[in-house]
């Protein structure tokens, strides 16, 4: 009986093992969104179409099963393996002859559409994370504002420092101090990240927006790119608001942009 028990134990441990390159996000409830309100209409006064936080309401309880999330954004080197195995797949716009820019093997792949990202994850036996999974993976059980806590700290994320700083991507994991409670890095900064969901109102939301009906997909996590042209103090506020783990961006799923990449998720077998 002992060899049989050992075999069963080994199989059980293998089934529960965290897949290489991922972090385990334990299932359970968490609260998604925010209770914050832009009472002074600061965003509108800056020229934005909606007040801050509107699409993050209501703050609501979500049950998320256990899953595995890529520790880093998908890199150029990893994406090249996908292209090599799928000759019909188009290359990112910053590549040449199906090769990534020199010296950027460990940089996040960008200039990929939502469809490209979805195809890659499925090819790898994974999928894009849901919006709820992404947010839980960034915030942890305590629902902190940023992956590392409740105080904004620009040194922990690769984000733009000003309106004329277009920034550049860094090798994934360059800022380990910005890791989430589960150990995922670059959840804020480096590249925006496609998630599975359509951009739509949360259940029970009081506000409707035109953008909910325009076929967009959600992107999360901010990037290295400048966020607009604002005075210095206003610029820092825009970055701090946009860099929160609950902030929701969106783009059309066919868009291939300079600062949008992705990471994958895997469900336990």
Find tokens 């996000």 and name the residue. 25
Phi/psi of residue 120, nearest 5 degrees: -60, -50
Residue 51 forms part of a structural domain: yes
Residue 5 forms part of a structural domain: no
Query: Strand 260-262 and strand 192-198: pairing?
Result: parallel
Position 17 scores a pLDDT of 85
141 or 140: which leads in pLDDT: 140
Alpha-carbon distance of 99 to 18, in angstroms, equals 30
Number of domains in the chain: 1
Residue 4 forms part of a structural domain: no
Alpha-carbon distance of 261 to 240, in angstroms, equals 21
Residue 85 forms part of a structural domain: yes
Residue 127 CA: distances (Å) to CA of 15, 21, 262: 18, 14, 11
In the chain, the N- to C-terminal Cα span, in Å, equals 26
Contact 140, 169 (CB under 8 A): no
DSSP designation for 254: T
* CB atoms closer than 10 angstroms to residue 7: 10
Q: Is the peptide bond before 154 cis (omega within 30 degrees of 0)?
A: no
Residue 258 forms part of a structural domain: yes
Residue 3 forms part of a structural domain: no
Residue 123 forms part of a structural domain: yes
> In this structure, what CATH number is given to the domain that contains residue 195?
3.90.1580.10
Alpha-carbon distance of 190 to 160, in angstroms, equals 10
* CB atoms closer than 10 angstroms to residue 230: 18
Residue 12 has pLDDT above 60, yes or no: no
Greatest pairwise CA separation for the chain in angstroms: 73
Residue 16 forms part of a structural domain: no
Residue 185 has pLDDT above 60, yes or no: yes
Position 2 scores a pLDDT of 53
pLDDT tens string 20-76: 999 999 999 999 999 999 999 999 999 988 999 999 999 999 999 999 999 999 999
Domain that holds residue 185: 22-266
């Amino acid at each position: 009986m002992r060899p049989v028990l050992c075999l069963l134990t080994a199989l059980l441990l293998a089934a529960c093992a965290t897949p290489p390159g991922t972090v385990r996000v334990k299932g359970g409830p968490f609260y998604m969104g925010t209770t914050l309100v832009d009472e002074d209409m600061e965003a509108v006064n800056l020229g934005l179409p909606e007040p801050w936080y509107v699409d993050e309401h209501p703050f609501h309880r979500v049950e998320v099963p256990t899953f595995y999330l890529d520790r880093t954004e998908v890199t150029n080197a990893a994406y090249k393996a996908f292209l090599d195995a799928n000759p019909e797949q188009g290359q990112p716009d910053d590549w040449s002859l199906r090769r990534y820019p020199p010296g950027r093997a460990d940089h996040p792949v960008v200039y990929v559409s939502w469809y490209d990202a979805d195809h890659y994850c499925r090819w790898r036996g994974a999928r894009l994370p849901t919006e709820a999974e992404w947010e839980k993976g960034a915030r942890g059980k305590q629902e902190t504002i940023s992956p590392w806590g409740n105080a904004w700290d620009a040194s922990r994320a690769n984000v733009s420092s000003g309106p004329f700083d277009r920034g550049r991507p860094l090798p994934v994991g360059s800022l380990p101090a910005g890791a989430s409670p589960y150990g995922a890095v670059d959840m804020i900064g480096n590249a925006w990240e496609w998630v599975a969901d359509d951009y739509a109102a949360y259940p029970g939301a009081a506000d409707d927006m035109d953008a909910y009906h325009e076929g967009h997909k959600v992107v999360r996590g901010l990037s290295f790119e400048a966020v607009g042209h604002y005075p210095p103090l206003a610029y820092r506020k825009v970055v701090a608001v946009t860099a929160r783990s609950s902030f929701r961006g969106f783009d059309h799923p066919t868009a291939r942009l300079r600062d949008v990449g992705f990471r994958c998720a895997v469900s336990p077998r």
